[in-house]
Structure 1
Amino acid sequence: MAVDRERVAAVVRDLLEAIGEDPERPGLKQTPQRVAEAYAEFFSGVGEDAGAPLERTISVSRGPAPGTLPSGAVMLRDIRFRSMCEHHLLPFAGYAHIAYLPGEQVVGLGALPRVVDILAARPQVQERLGEQIADTIAGSIDTRGVLVVLDASHQCVTMRGGRQPDASTVTIAARGELSEPAARAEIVALLTGHA
């Protein structure tokens, strides 16, 4: 489902009037269209299949390195993401760190950031975003376990209310063998750079 840019622009124009501004003044005249274009980008993941990037898998036993079966986790750290908090429609941004224990399949590493991008490009809360990433990976490829750590700064915390500019929020979502805290401790340390 594509964002209705004309409708967003009309709502932004109404919003500007509602806060006492003149949407016809030079600095604001193009704002409704600019916000509509930005929202089309920010919410491009609505309705998109987050599992699609994981459709092309590589067989571990019959793939490019058949004699090399991974004995541990495949990890990708520092995947930059940004999303919009569904409570205030303010941005939050940070890093996703992903690990999975492969079964018979692995995916190209570029597929994991694409999953994050699709799921983050929706009205979100960080806790659900991590759970959705973990569910998508666990449900799309053969894994023995999945771990997703998100570390993000939320503008609803940094710019309003308590105004804590240095605060960040860390969430963890785990599936399979990595659901047990003892099993994931080493991986969390490696993913977050605290090993």
Structure 2
Amino acid sequence: MDQSEAQAIDSSSGSEKGLNNSRGSRGRRPSIILPPRDERDQPDAKRRRRKKKAARRARKDDVDGDSSSNVNTGADTGADTALAKTTGPLVDFEGLSRPSFGTQQRRKETPEAAALRLERMKGAVTTLLECVGEDPHREGLLATPQRYAKAMLDFTKGYQENISDIVNGAIFQEGHNEMVIVKDIDVYSLCEHHLVPFMGKMHIGYIPNNAVIGISKLPRIAEMFARRLQIQERLTKDVANAIFEVLAPQGVGVVMESSHLCTVMRGVQKTGSTTITSCVLGCFERREKTRNEFLSLIGVNRR
């Protein structure tokens, strides 16, 4: 190779290097080079910077011991009250499910408080009768407010029941690991949207993890949750989750079939419709074969 050829090669390689440098480190066209991953180049960079500044100011206020944070205002009291009334865990330390402020009051009320509650409900029913155009003082309706108030308390007696009292220690170590099913459990509940009944059948199955629960406890658990203001989807999940939490089995399956009077008496008014909901946990959820066995035994997939 003579000197002129070597110079030509050097010049061509130098031009290639310059071209590569202009194209980026990977030798690509600038148009397809990914933008630098710098938050300042993102559209919402200003918003993120404002958040960071606000967080720094908040930390500084905490360190300085802002005196205003120690003042007990009316708004704080209201927030505390609202927090006390919010929905709790599925089963709390007292064995109550979804314990609310009203649930605790109703469960622990004195006979005097219970009588006052009944009187308040009677007054509300009387007002309702007047608002629909009736005369609450006519003979046929004189005792209706009291009857309805007592009936409503009975329809919702699940708010006063404790799941620990229902189970009552009826969990036995039997070394049994095959499927257990209680099917065709009659269930009656109130739709929380319209306060009209929905009713149907519930099928409960579980695979023990050595421990079994008394057979009668499964319908009782279903009854406790049904005697609430409910929707069918949540009722199905409540029963499954409670059994799973109390018994710790390998898996739980719950299927419910029901008819809703809110769709029969009003709205679409379809008398022949049936609503089916299910909740599967543990091995029922993981294994299709187990799930299909459960559905076959309760007869759902043979219809």
Q: Which residue of structure 1 lines up, in the alignment, with residue 71 of structure 2?
A: none
> What is the distance in 1 between the residues matched to 2:244 and 2:231?
20
Query: 140, 161, 171: which one pairs with 1:48?
Result: 161
Give the corresponding residue for 1:35: 148
Greater RCO (Cα-Cα under 8 Å, separation 6 or more): 1
How many angstroms apart in 2 are the aligned matches of 1:149 and 1:10? 39
How far is 1:104 from its partner?
Answer: 1.8
Deviation at 1:193, TM superposition (A): 5.3
2:135 aligned residue: 22
Note the C-alpha offset of 1:45. 0.7
> What TM-score results when the alignment is normalised by the length of structure 2?
0.59
1:97 paired residue number: 203
Instruction: Provide the C-alpha distance between the structure 1 equivalents of 2:125 and 2:242, rounded to a whole number of angstroms.
Output: 34
> Amino acid of the residue matched to residue 124 of structure 1?
Q
Report the CA distance between 1:83 and its aligned residue. 0.3
Superposition deviation, residue 188 in structure 1: 1.2
Measured after TM superposition, the shift of residue 108 of structure 1 is 1.0
**Larger proportion of helix:** 2
How many residues of Structure 1 are paired with residues of Structure 2 in the alignment?
187
1:132-151 matches, cutoff 5 A:
132-151=238-257
Whole-angstrom distance in 1 between the partners of 2:139 and 2:286:
57
3-state DSSP of counterpart to 1:16? helix
CA drift at 1:190: 1.2
Whole-Å Cα distance in 1 between the matches of residues 295 and 196 of structure 2? 28
Instruction: State the partner residue of 1:192.
Output: 299
**TM score, norm. by length of structure 1:** 0.90
Corresponding letter in the other structure for 2:224: I
From 58, 65, 75, the equivalent of 2:172 is 58
Q: How far apart are 1:194 and its partner, in Å?
A: 4.4
Q: CA deviation at 1:56?
A: 1.9
Report the AA paired with residue 194 of structure 2: H
Percent of aligned pairs with the same amino acid: 36
**Structure that is richer in strand per residue:** 1
C-alpha displacement of 1:139: 0.2
Quote the Cα distance in structure 2 between the aligned partners of 1:52 and 1:138. Answer: 17
Letter in 2 for 1:19: V
Structure 1 runs of 4+ aligned residues shifted over 4 Å read none
Task: Give the one of 109, 127, 130 matched to 2:236.
Answer: 130
Residue 181 and residue 27 in structure 1: after superposition, are their counterparts in 2 closer, same or farther (change >3 A)? Answer: farther
Tell me, yes or no, if the aligned pair for 1:51 and 1:137 is still in contact at 8 Å: no
SS state at 2:139 partner: coil
**Cα distance in 2 between the residues matched to 1:52 and 1:135:** 17
Match of 2:179 in 1: 73
- Aligned equivalents of 1:192, 1:111: Cα separation in 2: 22
More displaced stretch, 179-188 vs 116-125: 179-188
Aligned residues: CA RMSD: 1.6
Q: For residue 254 of structure 2, give the secondary structure of its aligned residue in structure 1.
A: strand
Note if contact 1:79-1:113 (Cα within 8 Å) is conserved in structure 2.
yes
